Amino acid sequence: MQLKILAIETSCDETAAAVIIDGQVKSNIVASQAKLHAKFGGIVPEVAAREHVPSIIPTINLALKTAKTKLTDINYIAVTAGPGLFTSLMVGVQTAKALGLALNKPVIGINHLEAHIYANFVGQFPISNFQFPILILIVSGGHTLLVLMKGHGQLKIVGETLDDAAGEAFDKTAKLLGLGYPGGPALSLLAKKGNPRAFDFPRPMINSKNLNFSFSGLKTAVLYTVQKMVRSDKKLDKITKQNIAASIQQAIIDSLIAKTEQAIKKYCPKTIMLGGGVAANELLRQRFKQLAIIYNLQPATPPLEYCTDNAAMIGLAAYYRIRHKKIKADSYFEADPHVVLK
């Protein structure tokens, strides 16, 4: 019998649904609220939650229709349980539980960060050929983690940010440059034409012995640089902005790569993986692949459209948990905005 999963994701500002059949992505629908939040320069939690409500059922229906599957044929419903914005999570969790109850199907709560790892498993059906142990660098808007994965459901955090996440560093510094929201893609586009050595921004903790990151100092350094230029009447012209963007991007990526390299030396993984929205960054993907070549490791980066939040990754995380009997499908789980990785 085929294993058919309906997956739902509403942890932040994307309303998403997907159908996964035997580990293959049959549909992946994302209704983005990005334009709505751009007006405010960032995500407004109350607005995000309200917007999920009218979108969720049409998004699920479209995912089912695209996958040519009926709701009654689904075996499992998987939904993001956390971390994320509480009221946003609640929309997905309550919808999944209601569907589970009405259809008498098991509902599985999935960790959003674990799911970002499974974005790498798109196209790997019915089973993946990645070799364990896997070292994963998760870089999203809210988290920056180094995770050691010895098998499915066997995850251990070995490094994390002490303050801002890498995505936050992109977003906040982009805001200082007046690039709007979301800042990451805009900043990396501007950085393409800039000189990454034009400004010497800090790379905190790069020489520390542990595997932790720190990015809040970067935001302050960029703020001072911009303020100093304004005070001394130096123009923040297009070329200067391009140079600042390229230098910021370089500083963030240098920190991420240095700590990943330290973790490779310490844990000797067979595979290294990227996950989270910042995994869409072209330069980071290049540098990550170069690192894999140097240490003779198998590299994995998610297909671009699966880097930022989507429901296919939720369904794939559920699929591997079901296959490896690492699930609790009892509908008793609750949305948990603060959980990291279990």
C-beta separation of 10 from 50 below 8 A: no
The set of residues, in sequence order, having a beta carbon less than 8 Å from that of 232 and lying 6+ positions away, is: none
Which amino acid type is present at position 239? I
Q: Nearest approach, Cβ of 196 to ligand KG4 (angstroms)? A: 14
- Considering the complex, what minimum distance in angstroms separates the CB of residue 31 from ligand KG4? 14
Pick one of 82, 277, 302, 315: the residue that binds ligand KG4 (CB under 6 A). 277
C-alpha to C-alpha distances, 100 to 53, 74, 79, 108, 133, nearest whole angstrom: 18, 10, 11, 10, 35
CB of 208 to Zn ion, least distance (A): 26
Answer yes or no whether residue 51 interacts with Zn ion by CB under 5 A: no
CB of 119 to Zn ion, least distance (A): 9
Partner interacting with residue 183 (select from ligand KG4, Zn ion, none; CB below 5-8 Å by kind):
ligand KG4
Using CB distances below 5 to 8 A depending on partner kind, what does residue 280 bind out of ligand KG4, Zn ion, none? ligand KG4
Three-state DSSP state, 213? strand
Subset of 216-275 contacting ligand KG4 (CB under 6 A): none
- In 43-85, which ranges are continuous DSSP H helix? 45-66
Which CB sits closer to ligand KG4, 69 or 247? 247
185 binds ligand KG4 (CB under 6 A): yes
Site for ligand KG4 in 97-156 (CB under 6 A): 140-142
Burial class (CB in 10 A: 0-12, 13-18, 19+), 66: middle
Number of H helices, E strands in the chain: 10, 10
Question: Residues 315, 20: contact at Cβ < 8 Å?
Answer: yes
Q: If binding is defined by CB under 5 A, does position 255 make contact with Zn ion?
A: no
**Which among 274, 272, 287 is positioned nearest to 313, based on CA atoms?**
274
Applying CB under 5 A, among 309, 311, 316, 327 the residue interacting with Zn ion is 309
Considering only residues 247, 250, 281, 301, which one is a binding residue for ligand KG4 as defined by CB under 6 A? 281
Check: CB of residue 199 under 8 Å from CB of residue 229. Answer: no
* Minimum distance of ligand KG4 from residue 167's CB (angstroms): 3
51 vs 309, beta carbon nearer ligand KG4 = 309
Minimum gap (Å) between residue 300 Cβ and ligand KG4: 16
Residues 158-177 that bind ligand KG4 (CB under 6 A): 167, 170-171
- β-bridge pairing 144-151 and 134-139: antiparallel
Short-list 113, 127, 120, 213, CA closest to 155: 113
How many residues bind ligand KG4, per CB under 6 A? 19
| CA neighbor of 261 nearest in space, from 284, 285, 300, 288 | 288
Q: Please tell me whether residue 182 binds ligand KG4 under the rule CB under 6 A.
A: yes
CB of 30 to Zn ion, least distance (A): 12
CB under 5 to 8 A by kind: which of ligand KG4, Zn ion, none does 180 bind? none
Q: Find the binder of ligand KG4 among 159, 308, 314, 335 (CB under 6 A).
A: 308
Q: Residue 10 corresponds to which tokens in the numbers above?
A: 């509403």
Nearest C-alpha neighbor of 92 from the set 57, 47, 63: 57
Shortest gap between Cβ of 191 and ligand KG4 (angstroms)?
A: 9
For residues 123 and 342, the answer to whether their CB atoms sit within 8 Å is no
Q: Does 160 bind Zn ion (CB under 5 A)?
A: no
Residues that bind Zn ion (CB under 5 A): 140, 309
Site of interaction with ligand KG4 (CB under 6 A): 12, 140-142, 167, 170-171, 182-185, 188, 276-278, 280-281, 308-309
